[in-house]
Amino acid sequence: MFKLSFISHSAQAMNLPDILEVLEQLAPLSLAEPWDNVGLLVEPSKPRLVQKILLTNDLTVSVMEEAEVMSCDLIISYHPPLFKPFKRLVQKDWKQQLAIRAVEAGIAIYSPHTALDSVKGGINDWLIGGVGSGSVSVLRQAVSSGPLCHKLEFTVRNHEELETVLSELGDRGTGVTFSAARPDSHAYSVRVSCCDSALTSVVQTLWQHSTPQQSLSILPVSKQPLLGCGVGRRGTLDEPISIETAVNRMKAHLGLKHLRLALGAQKTLESTVTTVAVCAGSGGSVLQGVTADLYITGEMSHHEVLDAVAAGTSVILTDHSNSERGFLSVLRERLSVHLDDSVSVQLSQKDRDPLEVM
């Protein structure tokens, strides 16, 4: 969906802003959830060319040590290591320690998180692709990040009042667009569009005239959907498979020996899977109420699993970061294509899910 433009690079390395531009094109930050903390989280005080990038799902103490040893210039951490606001930077908190170490070492930190989940071809599309090919739709559609617009409809008595009202709107510099029609000989029907920031000014102008004031109606205009982008995915497989086959495919796709499975009511390992819904990470709230034969996510609460099972939906849980980490290899390849050859992009060898099946 998003076309990458090529940037002229240094023969030795790249500036941080150039790399941030590539990251923005790969996963626009406007696609991130409102609650998320994405983008550049730590920026060195002195401009520094980037030669080594480390990709990790989580920035932990061991990953930071790995970054320091390799003289890393930029850490791209899928999960934002800095999330809650800090009132101080001290050594008592391990995340504050990481921020301090990054600043001292001159290492930049960037997180794409839910922007990478939402973008077309991102983590959720990769995750659902592990089950098999088919038609895929977005569970919660992303929309354009442009300003909210409004449509105002009202009537004026005659052509003279029409010209007066439109002239006053123009004098206020509201940047509105309009159309007018005269369905009968007594009045004009007027339709005005304006952005959210101009709405108050437009309404104040119209309320100075009795006929527009009495007939005024205000309607929000829906933002343009960003096709293929949004939260979660639901797919219909080209060829139905058994639950057992789905489990084995996901093990291979994620590189895992074990997965947790809850069979839906009256279902067995041989039961057919035609529809699948996925959400990387913690998907309980996103998948709740979605009609599908199988849910795939990192984690759900005990009661969320019980609700799904009672509805006849089977559930595969991978543990949180195991549903995401495998995409880092895909991200590495995409970055390598659009960065200078002298920039090294490496996958962390220390990054892993904190939970293990013994």
By CB neighbour count within 10 A (0-12 exposed, 13-18 middle, 19+ buried), where does 310 fall?
exposed
Q: Say if residues 339 and 50 touch (Cβ distance below 8 Å).
A: no
Rounded CA-CA distance 255/249 in Å is 10
Rounded CA-CA distance 161/176 in Å is 17
Rounded CA-CA distance 27/114 in Å is 9
Q: Is 79 annotated as a binding residue?
A: yes
pLDDT of 1 higher than 60: no
Residue-wise pLDDT tens digits, 19-43: 999 999 999 999 999 999 999 999 9
Q: Is 68 annotated as a binding residue?
A: no
Sign of the Cα torsion 287, 288, 290, 294 reads positive
Residue-wise pLDDT tens digits, 249-265: 999 999 999 999 999 99
Q: Is 320 annotated as a binding residue?
A: yes
Q: Is 117 annotated as a binding residue?
A: yes
Q: Token digits for 46? A: 């002195």
Residue 187 binned pLDDT confidence (cut-offs 50, 70, 90): confident
By CB neighbour count within 10 A (0-12 exposed, 13-18 middle, 19+ buried), where does 312 fall?
middle
pLDDT of 5 higher than 50: no
Phi, psi of 23 (to 5 degrees): -60, -40
**Structural domains of the chain, ranges and CATH numbers in brackets:** 14-113+326-347 (3.40.1390.30), 118-143+226-322 (3.40.1390.30), 149-221 (3.30.70.120)
Residue 188 binned pLDDT confidence (cut-offs 50, 70, 90): confident
Q: How big is the CA angle at 138 (ends 330 and 26), to the nearest 5 degrees? A: 35
Q: Provide the percentage of residues in the chain whose pLDDT is more than 70.
A: 93
Give the pairing type, strands 272-282 and 294-299. parallel
pLDDT of residue 3: 45
Three-state SS for 91? coil
pLDDT of 158 higher than 90: no
Exposure string of 12-45, with b = 16+ CB inside 10 Å and e = fewer, is: ebbebebbbbbbebbbbbbbbeeebbbbbbbebe
CA proximity to 23, closest of 352, 347, 345: 345
For 171-225, the DSSP string reads HTT---EEEEE-SSSS-EEEEEEEEGGGHHHHHHHHTTSHHHHHH-EEEEEPPPE
pLDDT, mean of residues 221-236:
90
How many C-alpha atoms does 246 have within 13 Å on its Cβ side?
33
pLDDT of 319 higher than 80: yes
- pTM summary value: 0.81
Strand partners, 221: 149
